[in-house]
Amino acid sequence: MDKPRIGITLGDINGIGPEVVIKALSDNRILNLITPVIYGSSRALSFYRKHLNLEEFNYNQVRSKGQFLPKSTNIVNCWEEVIEINPGQASKETGRAAWLSLKKAVEELKEGFLDGIVTGPIDKNTIYSNDFPFRGHTEYFTKEFNTTESLMLLVGEDLKVGLVTDHIPIKDISANITKDRLELKIRLMEMTLKKDFGIIKPKIAILGLNPHASDDGLIGTEENQIIKPVIEEVKMKGKLIYGPFPADGFFGSGEHIKFDGILAMYHDQGLIPFKYIAFSSGVNYTGGLPIVRTSPDHGTAYSLAGKNIANENSMRQAIYLATEIIKNRQNPIN
């Protein structure tokens, strides 16, 4: 099989995106696995290569669309104007540049020049515009690839946490925990674990919404009225679905290691324990899409930008995971 062509966006160039990309791709083992294509700016790469004293990192500037050197790191320049780089400073200008990088990478992914994409961290405040009216990458990719719903899935070693609701205010969570939505997210979780991770019959845990999973209705009604009936209905179809589990005790007692996937009801319920357990190596994966998209599970980390202290492991794992999923899709399980 030809090496997968993986597009990698720099994200906000005032954040740690360029640093973790350069550090991750400086590992020659990655060039043996993939053909990396960075979307952003050779000027930004040159700036950080010099600023961080990473001069051994080399790249090829792509002159014609899709003409990537297979044994090199390639860079596609996504804007022509000179953008001032100030590590650690939020800027609408670099937010727009992050959008241009993302837009170009998605265009070439749709045109078949890439096999998958890894997105660098963006600043949701500076990238937000008429061109990018989304809460984050997940919503953007869901729309761009004409998918009604997707699954935000955080992936670590022996830990996969998906979300029923993701980027919505706390006050709106309960109203969005519906029978139809929960059934959909369970289907997406099961399909993703099978298709993208090669797990033939996945075992999935469902967390409750309320403290103590409502203590049988004493603290809220969502478990008894929505979550438990859906779990029972799905189990009747022969699926290995269990719960609802109280989220605190579930992770605190180590129950999470017994399951192939865990479905949390809302963002922080799933991401706080996930990042505590797997912060340096966690990957954000968008399940349910026709394409493969991963990203590191951290943000722009402005406080670390330009100091040569950012940890690239999450970016490296995002590249490895995208490669693994592409191969799994090319060799599906029965």
Alpha-carbon gap, residue 193 to 211, rounded angstroms:
28
Task: Specify whether domain 1-147+289-334 bears CATH 1.10.10.10.
Answer: no
Domain boundary assignment for the chain: 1-147+289-334, 150-286
Q: Which residues contact 112 (CB under 8 A, 6 or more apart)?
A: none
- Tell me what the pLDDT averaged over the chain comes to: 94
* Band of pLDDT at residue 334, cut at 50, 70 and 90: low
Residue pair 58/22 in contact (Cβ under 8 Å)? The answer is no
Helix (H, G, I), strand (E, B) or coil at 150: coil
Name the residue among 78, 82, 134, 136 with its Cα closest to residue 108.
78
User: Residue 89's pLDDT is what?
Assistant: 96
Stated pTM of the model: 0.93
Q: Report whether 9 contacts 120 (CB < 8 A).
A: yes
For residue 265, is pLDDT > 60? yes
What is the pLDDT averaged over residues 198-227? 94
Q: What is the pLDDT of residues 80-118, one digit of tens each?
A: 999 999 999 999 999 999 999 999 999 999 999 999 999
Q: Summarize the confidence of residues 239-257 as an average pLDDT.
A: 93
- We find that the CATH architecture of domain 150-286 is 3-Layer(aba) Sandwich (3.40)
User: Which tens digits make up the pLDDT trace of 292-327?
Assistant: 999 999 999 999 999 999 999 999 999 999 999 999
CB 241 within 8 A of CB 229: no
Q: 10 Å Cβ neighbour count for 285? A: 26
Band of the pLDDT at 158, cuts 50, 70, 90? Answer: confident
The partner residues of 144 in beta bridges, in order of sequence, read none
Cis previous bond, 244, omega within 30 = yes
